[in-house]
Structure 1
Amino acid sequence: MNTTTARDYRQIPGTYVFDGEHNHKGYGLNMFCKSLDLESNRAAFRADSPYYLDRFMLSDEQRRAVLARDWLGMLRLGGNIYYTFKLAILDGLTMQHVGAAMSANGMSVDEFRAMMLAGGRPINGNRSVEEWSHG
């Protein structure tokens, strides 16, 4: 008998699955990021980021996350990694930079790269939110 539910993935620490609910929450944020496909939009955003963001229906939290380049915050607020990465590219960052910034304890790019080459983050303590409550 399968006792898992469709939302069990929410029990995995650091997992932000881009499901329908997350899509709805992050629609404006993702449309902003998608707009960066066009050079004219990238130029407008570089020239006056706060003003450019007014074009999109962003929550105050999403707006702050974009301006602060809070990569993990953007994911928590409904961002899709493939869209938010367009902003990282605008800033000249690699996926390794973003991955390091999203890692616990402010990992450097070199530390992140070494961790990934060694097989990724350790599984202990990262299997479920419930596991965290047991110390």
Structure 2
Amino acid sequence: MSNADFADIPGTVLFDAQQARRGYGLNQFCMSLMNADNRKRFKADEVAYLADWPMSDEQRQAVLDRDMNRCLALGGNVYFLVKIAATDGISVQQMVGRMTGMDEADYRDMMLRGGRPIEGNRYRHEWLQRSGG
């Protein structure tokens, strides 16, 4: 299976060497939030704090918007991105629920039932076939 094959799998961003390079500054910023003083600085002036990191404008805006799906697409690693959620006082379950468009309770209940149903969620091209596209 090639990296391109993963593009047809819904909700999958392959974190390979290229993504790791692309997201290096973003992920380093996230890791900086493990330090209480850095969290305080970030919360006091997010724009100024983000300016200290070698990130693209698009990455900075995704952080400011708390658009974690966009952060993933721009090289963020979910294990690092949870540091932003924790800084905001949001649990991993809340963060991932938001990423899926669900509230926390609906996301939790779905996962307790075994996750998303596989039918119709295996490949993006299935979505196009169902919609007649």
TM over 0.5: yes
Tell me the amino acid that sits aligned with residue 88 of structure 2: D
- Paired positions, count: 130
Q: Which residue of 2 aligns with 1:128?
A: 123
Residue 99 in structure 1 maps to residue 103 in structure 2: no
Consecutive unaligned residues of structure 1, counting only runs of 5 or more, are none
Pick from 67, 74, 77 the counterpart of residue 80 of structure 1. 77
Tell me the SS of whatever aligns to 1:133.
helix
Residue 58 in structure 1 maps to residue 55 in structure 2: yes
In structure 1, distance between residues paired with 2:3 and 2:60: 30
Tell me the amino acid that sits aligned with residue 56 of structure 2: S
In structure 2, distance between residues paired with 1:131 and 1:60: 34
In structure 1, distance between residues paired with 2:129 and 2:72: 27
Consecutive unaligned residues of structure 2, counting only runs of 5 or more, are none
Tell me the amino acid that sits aligned with residue 8 of structure 1: D
Tell me the amino acid that sits aligned with residue 64 of structure 1: Q
Pick from 99, 105, 109 the counterpart of residue 110 of structure 1. 105
Give identity over the alignment, percent. Answer: 47
Cα RMSD between the aligned structures? Answer: 1.2
Tell me the SS of whatever aligns to 2:10.
coil
TM-score if structure 1 supplies the norm length?
0.90
In structure 1, distance between residues paired with 2:91 and 2:3: 32
Deviation at 1:133, TM superposition (A): 2.4
Moved over 4 A (4+): none
**Is the 2:3–2:14 Cα contact (8 Å) retained in structure 1?**
no
In structure 2, distance between residues paired with 1:24 and 1:53: 18
Greater helix proportion: 2
Tell me the SS of whatever aligns to 1:56.
coil
